[in-house]
Every structure is written in structure tokens, then in C-alpha cells.
Amino acid sequence: MTAIDDYVQISYDSNLLREPVLRSAIQDLQLPKGSRGLDAGCGIGLQALLLAEAVGPKGHITGLDLSPEFLDIAKKLVAEAGYTKRISFREGDVKELPFDDNTFDWAWSVDCVGYAPIEPLPLVKELGRVVRPGGTVAILAWSSENLLPGYPILEARLRATSAGIAPFVKGKNPELHFTRALGWFRDAGIEKCKARTFVGDAHAPLDNDLRQAFTALLQMRWPEVESELTQENWTEYQHLCLPESSDFILDHPDYYAFFTYSLFHGKVVG
């Protein structure tokens, strides 16, 4: 299985957890019915479908991604949903959006702009460039989690690994951390900025779909952490986080977990 295959499978499996949270964030934005929007870094198109529902049948979503493989999958998903007239896709780079100024009524990016190891301010400015005056620019990304109830020390150490703080890296300017995005918006000339965090959670007993979703989430959250943990921590991680373990945390009868996505948005100056 390729890295793309892995990403696609995890995206499908974890979508059960993420979709309700993303729906809440989209609802909070109050996107105008019939509006035209950009989904920057759209991946396999799961969020484009939610955005299309929000703007209604007279609206239109353009999804943009660097990966032609992701876009091929996105087009199939959209066709299966009967949304081919409401959603289109284009290959391109968020750093240099292939659109004219003032093309869209709003632009949105989830787990991409501000959450990739790229200087965020130019990306936010680029989103603002393609949105008409008075339109909305919004970015959304994973901001916290509590997935190992009863094991706060292990989870704290996992959060401190390179994977746990990614895409942030040790020594990076604190102003480049995602939760400092209000400053990026201000420096990009975007006004009336707001921030809000949305929570997703679940508890035992987990049905098969939820169990699969959380399993995917555990695999995605802390990959390749062995070298950054003590042997004791690594052993405990294996016992709790590997599905084949008899102590797999998702099988605990009292399992409860939550995670958060944080939304930052503002208006393009007229």
C-alpha cells in the first residue's frame, strides 16, 4: 500500500469523527446560500461535499489540491453524490492560487493553510487575494486531543514528540503556531477576525465504525514515535494503542475521548 493509499484510507476511516465537527464549523461561518467558495487543499473532497450542502444548489465550490491522485478520488466522490454541477476541482498550489483577484465569495482551508510546514502569512494573503471585498477567509485545523483516558503522563509525552507537535517544530517562532492565527489575519489585512473551537467526542461502547475511526486516529496521531520515547513509554504505548494488543484502549468499557478543531475567520477589506 502506498502513502497515498494510507492517507485515503485514514481519511475515510476518521471521517466519521471529523465530519460532525466540521459541519459545526461550517454552520458557524453562515456561508451565504448561492455563494461561490474555494476549498483550498481539498484532499479527496470530503469537505467540499459539506460546503456544497451549506451553500445550496445555486452555490458552487471549487476544490484545489496539489495531488492529482487526490483530485481523481474527489471527482469520483462528487459524481457518486450527484454534485458534479455544484463542485469542480483544479490542480494547483495554495502558495500561488491559479485564480484572479476577487474570484470567490469566500475561501476555506482545513488542515492545510496554517497547518503545513510553510510560512502561513503568505498563504493567508493569497486566500484573501482571491476573495471579493467583504468576503470571508477561514482556516480550520486540529488543535488538541485527549485519546488515552487514564494515561495523562504517557499522552503528555506523546504530545511532546515531533509527531505530537507537528507541523510545528522545536525552535520555531511561536507566532507561527496555528493558535496564533489571529495575528496572521491581522497582518494580512483581514478584519473582524474571530476564533472558536469545536469539540468532537465519543464514549464506550464503540460500534464497529467508531472503533475503526478511533483506530485510524491513533495510527495517524503519533506515527514513528519509538525513538523519542523511553522503553517504558514505548512498551505502554504498544499495549494501549495497537489493535492487536489485549490491552487496546478502545476495548476498555469506560473509554471516553475528545478532540478539538479551531476555526479562525475574518472579512476581506473592501
Per-residue burial over 29-63, b if 16 or more Cβ lie within 10 Å, else e, is bebbeebbbbbbbbbbbbbbbbbbbbbeeebbbbb
103 has pLDDT over 80:
yes
Mean pLDDT calculated for residue range 126-145: 97
Mean pLDDT calculated for residue range 184-198: 97
Q: How many CB atoms lie within 10 A of CB 87?
A: 24
The pLDDT confidence band at residue 258, using thresholds 50, 70 and 90, is very high
- Nearest alpha carbon to residue 16 among 206, 264, 250, 197: 206
104 has pLDDT over 70:
yes
Question: pTM score, two decimals?
Answer: 0.95
How high does pLDDT run on average in the chain? 95
Number of separate domains in the chain: 1
Cα dihedral 62/166/226/13 (nearest 10): -30
Give pLDDT, residue 157: 98
The whole domain housing 201 covers 3-268
85 has pLDDT over 80:
yes
d(CA 53, CA 47) in angstroms, rounded, equals: 10
Give pLDDT, residue 227: 97
Q: How would you class 153 by CB atoms within 10 Å of its CB: exposed for 0-12, middle for 13-18, buried for 19 or more?
A: exposed
| Domain CATH code at residue 255 | 3.40.50.150
The pLDDT confidence band at residue 62, using thresholds 50, 70 and 90, is very high
User: Order of strands across the sheet with 190-203?
Assistant: 87-91, 60-65, 36-40, 104-110, 131-146, 256-268, 190-203
Give pLDDT, residue 115: 87
Torsion angles phi and psi, residue 44, rounded to 5: -90, 10
